[in-house]
Structure 1
Amino acid sequence: MGFKAVVVSAALLVAVSAQGIQQPKVHRLHVLSEVRNRYAKTLITSRVGNPADQAQEISFDAVLPENAFISRFLIEMDNVTYEAYVRGKEEARQEYDAAVAEGRGAAHVAVSARDSNVVHVSVNVEAQKKVTFNLTYEELLQREIGAYNLRININPRQPVDDLAVEVRIEEQAPLRLVEVPRLQETNEILDTPDNATDPLARIVRPTPSSAIVRWSPTKEEQRQRGEEGVSGQLVVRYDVDRDASPNQILVSEDGYFVHFYAPPGLPPLPKHVVFVLDVSGSMMGRKIEQLKAAMNTILDELNAGDVFSLIPFSSEVQVWHPDVPLTFRHWQPGVSSAFNASAIVEATSENIAKAKNSINSFEANGLTYMFSALKTALRMSDAGVHSGGGGSAPGWRRHAPIIVLLTDGEPNGQVSDTDEIVRRITERNAESGAAIFTLAFGTGADYGFLRRLALRNSGVGRRIYEAADAHLQLRNFYRQIASPLLADVTFNYDGQQVDENSLTTVKFPTLFGGGELVVAGRLSSGTREPWCAVRSRDGNATDAVPAPAVVNVTSAERLWAYLTVRQLLDQDAATPNETLRTRAKDIALRYSFVTSVTSLVVVKPNATSAVNLDEPNAPGEDIPMSIDAALDLSFDDYDALDIDPDPVAEVVPTLADITWLSPLRNGSQVTLNINGTDQHLQLAENQTEGSFQNCTTPPGGSGVCRHLAACILPEFKERLDVFLSGYLCVVEDSFLGVCCPDATSVTPAA
């Protein structure tokens, strides 16, 4: 084999081997995505052939959206289908550790695509044979900035004979928007986004509430995109008519329901945004310049009536005042600048211009006193919440408090323990109730800590990738939270009509413009039209929209299961809780979702042991793989797959398990030193055995001489001296054999 395929793609990726073997050929790559009521089920099918005259390893890599769950995986080979199954993460880990302890290899593939998880699978394919991979994943599409975005990654690395993407959308309300922007051929956001429809996309509208999108370039059209064919992300954007269905409950015959809530026409709430900006030494260079560019754009997008504050921090925490210059030299630990009402500034054109001038003067130096900066931000937020007037922004009580923290490093200073920071900031924030949004800039930031801090404080955590478009990533994130419409939203259902234990989250800190709130649950027996009142901090939010429209649908159960598992895992990430984790695992196993608490295991063809798929084999080494080897496709944010033995079937030992064999092999020949003389014997791996010669085993029992691969005993697996002392025999005058006890029933390894 001798090659390593390391690429991220949502389709098949193949590579030419180091020995120059003809590369595998992608005959068919189909992606079919069915979207019903915002819930998308996507099937990737890749048919690949090995045109070479010898066997070689073929790799399948699929990039999935960050919030998607794999639900099915199949490998079809030689008219045999190998289907995966889901089991608990802990059980898989135990067996994985056992496999490593016994010397069987394991693989780890890191994710390199933005906001995604990667699946990597390799199989050994015989000469002139084909293999088909079928991967299904599911996700609930999130409405962001006024549209749902279904993203499909495509990167076959060669023109494909049969390349096709089909997306079928079916909603209960009329579709007001269906578009397919031009294929995005880079990870990075364009400064001037090209929203023109991709010329290869075909959109059909069978009904007002459905659409079919087809994208199937010919080989010539693929070559026009480059010598390696098409490569990029295809996005299908759509939205429903909000005037027709602003408050909709879908009820299925199995008793499950889902409630979508996104009222149109609400004016944005005025907000108080506290920008907490890391200007420590690690931000020096391109990062600080990108921060300046992003903030110049973000400040222009503040709404009339908003107020804002700026807190740059490093070894010192500074509070910006419109008429007081900031200093960035010879900082001393502590908080500088007087803390007073003038630090809460109205979003007027004059104040925004002054803020931009100050931001453009930022210099990066010092340490990362994050805890002090967050405490100062909470004091600022409290001042906005509790002040009834005065200062530059009378009536601050009406402003929704938002804190946006951006950092590229880990906290230091007097309080640097991340668990302690989360605990103390969360307790301190109970008074002001600010939503804290955290942005982890680059690989040096502790994303796990920042995400936990945000989840505990009614916000979300995001990664900002260190690239040329970082300022655009910052701008786009801010746009998602720029217009809060409702605060402290609660869905109140009639307790006699719904199973309250089945409900997903019913309390939301904020509804942002362009977004949507979703609740799912199960109805009590006999209920078909549940009653619900939606209330917010300022009163009854349903005053602004009609009562929920109840519509019957085929099924809402999987959507409920997906949303329940996703929210349970988020709650566990915020505050680790074994009960939440156990419930998430139970539901994920019931619905075959691959999550951070479950693993996907597929029986793998043509193998005899777990092997390391992330590293090339040693020169001259040809490690077979067992029919009982298994892939553990599990996800822990950016962790992808492990390879485990099958937990059900007994693992058959293989030649790869004999520790002394590999140094003595040269291809299919084995050289043994017997009584000072080298003897060369052939190694049979899958030859048919004929008649057996009788022999005597070391204990003096009766046996028959069989090919070594057919009778691998634990007595000599790791000890050559034990093998030579009595087990060695020769089959058909030239093959290395073993005197196998009569009572041992061992089938030859394939």
Structure 2
Amino acid sequence: MKITAILAAPALCLLAAPAALAQGIILPERPRREPPTPVLDRGAVPLEVRTLDVRTSIRGRVATTVVDQVFFNPSASELEGTYLFPLPEGAAVERFSMWVDGTEMAGELLDARRAREIYESIVRSRRDPALLEFLGTRLFRASIFPIPPRSEKRVKLSYSEVVTGDAGTVTWRFPLGNARHAPKPVGQASLVVEVLADRRLTAAFSPTHRVDVVRKDDRSVKVSWEEKGVLPDQDFTLILQEPSGELGFSFAAHHPSGEDGTFLLLLAPAVDADAKPIPRDVVLCLDTSGSMAGEKIEQARNALRHGVRSLNPGDRFAVVTFATEPRRFREALLEADAAGKEEALKWIDGIQAVGGTCIDDALQASLDYLRGGDPARPGVVLFLTDGLPTIGERDPALILKRAAEKAAPRVRLFAFGVGHDVNTHLLDRLAEDLRGARDYVAPKEDIELKVSALVSKTTHPVMTDVTLSVEGVAVHDLYPRRLPDLFRGSELSLLGRFGGSGPAVVRVKGNTPSGPREFVNEIDFPARTDESSFLGRLWATRRVGHLMDEIRLHGETLELKEEVVRLAKRYGILTPWTSYLVLENEEMLARFRRGESAAAGRGGGDGFGLVTGGKGGEDALRDDLLRRAGFRGAAGE
């Protein structure tokens, strides 16, 4: 495959660090030769970005973003480029297109392998295709050819995501950070966000950029930023602040004719400033392997110090560091009084980064502290790591299984990934399985602030062991599958499908500091509505993510793969088995579609209308696809 060598470093960087998101960049390759094995330019740098135009609409808790970029090839050579860009967690790509001879051509979702074959063949015939492929969780790539010498190439991408809040604060981010890798400043950069909130907005501001804020009314605002010749070195962040109620319900639904509908339910518990903190047992577990050396270990030490200082009277705590093996500050939980904290802080000062990464042993050691004890006393593990398991058990499935078996019912795990090389899948699942949360911190980002906010939040659980039921309308396929605990100021977004319509009663039950409690709200599920059509794709993205987790943990089965591909085709989702292909013009696209339909009518192919008779093998398959799209130059022609 042509991309592997170029992607090796950038893929690790961007894929592993959601907190370090980046705007799209194009990495060039030299022109292809026959056979189609690329000559990689080891010194490749991103093409220049002439313009970056971002338009985002936030309605309630759903943000839809359109990114329009114009790149420039300053060289005297024709190039093939790789457009790399990460997406927020759970984001759903809605459209991918590029401009050919001044006309915008949108991508078509195809089987990934066949899309790649078409792309390879078109490149050899020197037409203008672009291929958008799934590379891994939160990272996508587009292959673009040709990029003529000293000319521009325009690419547009749109995606939707669910944004949630914390303590009445909603944070939306757009990836700008990777512009620092560009060879020249961005010629013209502009970003506009239009917000229509479900509740009154008390504030709207950016802590990262100087913006113009125009309020339309108490629920809507327009935020804009524009600069010329800029080289951004951090992501754009927008903060929206809302007042809090006791338990806020926000509901949106899409119900097309003739099929089940999709709904989004947002639960936001109250912020009680007078509530007293609940005593907890807290284990602070820090990765001190050799890869943490330098800035990261100092960053982590500061976070650990802050975590210790923020413990409340009545808390008990332990500190575990791990490299080649775990090290314990004390063999038993220690009272979080002044003397205990002071001892821990002195011990933290001596932490050094050296050795491998024994994640499994560290988790087992941390969870040992929380076995037994008062079931009503929360047990919290704060787990910070920067890498992959390299010592002891390395299989993520077994690490997850052993952690779930060791953890007492009262335990919640909160994971922090530090830097770019984190196994995000493992940390995501650890936090989900042990009903906590996870966050990721980029180099130079303030990890102390995040750790402090999380430690503070866990002192005020609003509701644990949360369950939700709906009476009056049948609901199914809810995500997340297991509802997390609700802490003071946190929010929970739930996506699901429903059949039927009419009034329904939503019951949220769980354990609160004052005992079991139930919140009841009435909601009207619409019989038919074309509003919020993006909800189907967002729900399908979550379901595909769940199915991909099952495949990673338990192995691929035909049933799971077919369900992933079915959802991908239905909702236009990029997966390991589906990709977007941009053809040169509408005529070629129409020919390709007619070829698909004709083949399907003959009963050929496997759902994409492919005929594999004739010469057989990969060449015949490629040639058949090309002939249907109207291309010439296939073998034998």
Hey, what's the Cα distance between the residues in 2 that align with 1:513 and 1:426?
25
Note if 1:515 corresponds to 2:490: yes
* 1:57-87: CA deviation from partner (whole Å, max 9, x where unpaired): 6775545334422220112222443220223
Corresponding residue number in structure 2 for 1:257: 263
Checking the alignment, whether the CA contact within 8 Å between 2:30 and 2:78 is kept in structure 1 is no
Q: Which residue of 2 aligns with 1:93?
A: 113
1:208 and 2:214 aligned: no
Alignment partners' CA distance in 1, 2:198 and 2:233: 34
Contact 1:276 1:310 in 2 (8 A): yes
Q: Which has the larger Rg?
A: 1
Q: Summarize deviations over 1:269-288 as a string: whole Å, max 9, x none.
A: 44322122334555555544
Given candidates 310, 325, 328, the residue that maps to 2:319 is 310
Task: Spell out the pairing of 1:641-720 with structure 2 (5 A cutoff).
Answer: 648-650=625-627, 714=636
Equivalent residue, structure 1, for 2:579? 599
Quick check: 1:481–1:512 contact (8 Å CA) kept in 2? no
Between the aligned partners of 1:212 and 1:98, the Cα distance in structure 2 is 43
Report matched runs for 1:400-549 at 5 Å: 400-408=378-386, 411=389, 415=393, 417-429=395-407, 431-442=408-419, 446-460=423-437, 462-465=439-442, 467-469=443-445, 472-473=446-447, 475-477=449-451, 479-480=453-454, 482-484=456-458, 485-495=461-471, 497-505=472-480, 507-527=482-502, 529-538=503-512, 547=521
SS at 1:376 equivalent: helix
2:299–2:447 Cα contact (<8 Å) kept: no
Indicate the larger mover: 305-314 or 445-454.
Answer: 445-454
Secondary structure of 2:364's partner? helix
Matched, 1:586 2:562: no
Separation in 1 of the partners of 2:328 and 2:62? Answer: 45
Aligned 1:137-286 pairs, distance under 5 A: 137-144=159-166, 146-154=168-176, 155=179, 163-183=189-209, 198=210, 201-217=211-227, 222-223=228-229, 225=230, 232-243=234-245, 246-252=248-254, 254=256, 255-266=261-272, 267=275, 269-280=278-289, 283=292, 286=295
**Cα distance 1:242–1:576, how it changes in 2: closer, same or farther (>3 A)?**
farther
Contact 1:35 1:170 in 2 (8 A): yes
Instruction: Output the CA distance in 1 between the equivalents of 2:52 and 2:422.
Output: 37
Identity rate of aligned residues, in percent? 20
Contact 2:501 2:525 (C-alpha < 8 Å) held by counterparts: no
The answer to whether 1:352 aligns with 2:356 is: no
Structure 2: how far apart are the matches of 1:234 and 1:346?
41
Q: How does 1:267-346 map to 2 (within 5 A)?
A: 267=275, 269-280=278-289, 283=292, 286-314=295-323, 317-321=326-330, 339=331, 343-346=332-335
Q: Which has the higher helix share?
A: 2
Find out whether 1:569 has 2:575 as its counterpart.
no
Amino acid at match of 1:179: F
More displaced stretch, 398-407 vs 98-107: 98-107
Deviation of 1:33 (Å): 0.8
Cα pair distance change 1:204/1:13, threshold 3 Å: farther
Distance 1:231 1:316 in 2: 37
Task: Give the Å deviation of 1:535.
Answer: 1.1
Q: Over aligned residues, Cα RMSD in angstroms?
A: 4.8
One-letter amino acid matched to 2:172? L
1:356, CA displacement in angstroms? 0.8
C-alpha offsets along residues 283-330 of structure 1, whole Å, 9 cap, x if unaligned?
A: 555544333222111222334543322223445544433xxxxxxxxx
SS at match of 1:534: strand
Q: How far apart, in 2, do the equivalents of 1:357 and 1:295 lie?
A: 12
Q: Note the alpha carbon deviations across 1:142-175, whole angstroms, 9 max, x for none.
A: 3246422222234486566764321111122222
- Secondary structure of 1:247's counterpart equals strand
* 1:494 alignment partner, SS class: strand
Distance in 2, matches of 1:251 and 1:541, equals 33
- Deviations 1:178-209 (Å, cap 9, x if unpaired)? 112233xxxxxxxxxxxxxx1xx222222222
Question: 1:379, 1:162 → 2: CA distance?
Answer: 55
Partners of 1:542 and 1:556 in 2: how far apart? Answer: 35
Within the candidate set 57, 71, 89, 2:94 is matched to 71
Change (3 A) 1:51 1:418: closer
| CA shift in 2, pair 1:61/1:409, >3 Å | closer
Does the CA-based 8 Å contact 1:63-1:116 persist in structure 2? yes
1:101-130: CA deviation from partner (whole Å, max 9, x where unpaired): 999799999999xx9635444333557876
Aligned partner of 1:41 in structure 2 is 64
- Kindly indicate whether the alpha-carbon contact (under 8 Å) linking 2:215 and 2:221 is maintained by their aligned counterparts in 1: yes
Q: 1:130 to 1:309 in 2, by over 3 A?
A: closer
Shift, 1:17, TM fit: 10
Q: 1:208 to 1:244 in 2, by over 3 A?
A: farther
Secondary structure of 2:57 counterpart: strand
Check conservation: 2:29, 2:80, Cα contact below 8 A. no
Q: Is this contact kept in 1: 2:317–2:333, CA < 8 A?
A: yes
Checking the alignment, whether the CA contact within 8 Å between 2:118 and 2:622 is kept in structure 1 is no
Unaligned runs of 5+ in 2: 1-5, 15-21, 32-40, 589-620
Task: Count the aligned residue pairs.
Answer: 553
Maintained 8 Å contact 2:131/2:582: no
Summarize the Cα distance change of 1:508–1:84 in structure 2 as closer, same or farther, 3 Å threshold. same
Match of 1:650, SS? Answer: helix
Q: Is the 8 A contact 1:256 1:555 kept in 2?
A: no
Task: Give the C-alpha shift of residue 137 in structure 1.
Answer: 1.3
Q: Which residue of 1 aligns with 2:362?
A: 373
Which amino acid counterpart does residue 549 of structure 2 have in structure 1? Answer: A
Task: Describe the superposition over 1:645-697 as per-residue Cα deviations: whole angstroms up to 9, x where unpaired.
Answer: 7984438999xxxxxxxxxxxxxxxxxxxxxxxxxxxxxxxxxxxxxxxxxxx
Residue aligning to 1:393: none
